[in-house]
Amino acid sequence: MLMRELSFRVRSLGSTKPVVPAVEELGGWARRHVGTSADLITWEVEKTIRSQMSGIFFPATGGLWYCDRILAAFSNVFQKLISGEFDLQTTDISADCAIATEIQRGCWWAIPSPQALHLTDGYFGDEGVAFEAIADAMERVCRVMRDGGISGHVLLYDGTSPDTIDLEHFFGKRFLRYVPDTFLENVLEVQRDLILSADAVSRLADLVDCYVIRKVYVVEPTIKALTEACRLFDPDDVFCAGTAPREHQEIYWKNLSELRVPVMDI
How many CB atoms within 10 Å of residue 210?
9
Indicate which CATH number applies to the domain containing 100.
3.20.20.210
CB 229 within 8 A of CB 201: yes
What is the pLDDT, as a whole number, of residue 80? 96
* Domain range enclosing 78: 5-265
**Average pLDDT of the chain?**
95
- Kindly state the average pLDDT of the residues 237-259: 97
Judged by average pLDDT, the poorest of 133-147, 162-176, 217-231, 237-251 is 162-176
Domain count, the chain: 1
- Of the pLDDT bands very low, low, confident and very high (cuts 50, 70, 90), residue 32 is confident
The three-class DSSP label of residue 6 is strand
pTM as predicted: 0.95
* Comparison of pLDDT for 55 and 84, the residue scoring more: 84
Of 79-93, 108-122, 159-173, give the lowest mean pLDDT range. Answer: 159-173
116 close to 64: Cβ distance less than 8 angstroms: yes
SS3 state at 250: helix
Strands 5-7 and 260-262, by their bridges, are antiparallel
Return the pLDDT at 228. 97
Q: Span 198-210, mean pLDDT?
A: 97
Q: How many CB atoms neighbour CB 91 within 10 A?
A: 11
Beta-carbon contacts of residue 124 (< 8 Å; ≥ 6 apart): 82, 130, 133
| pLDDT-derived band at 217, boundaries 50, 70, 90 | very high
Residue type, 123: Y
Residue 179, helix vs strand vs coil: coil
pLDDT of residue 137: 98
The three-state secondary structure class of 204 is helix
Task: Indicate the pLDDT class of residue 2, thresholds 50, 70 and 90.
Answer: low
pLDDT on residue 25: 81
Confidence check: pLDDT of 1 > 70: no
Per-residue pLDDT, 26 = 85
- Is-contact 187 162, C-beta < 8 A? yes
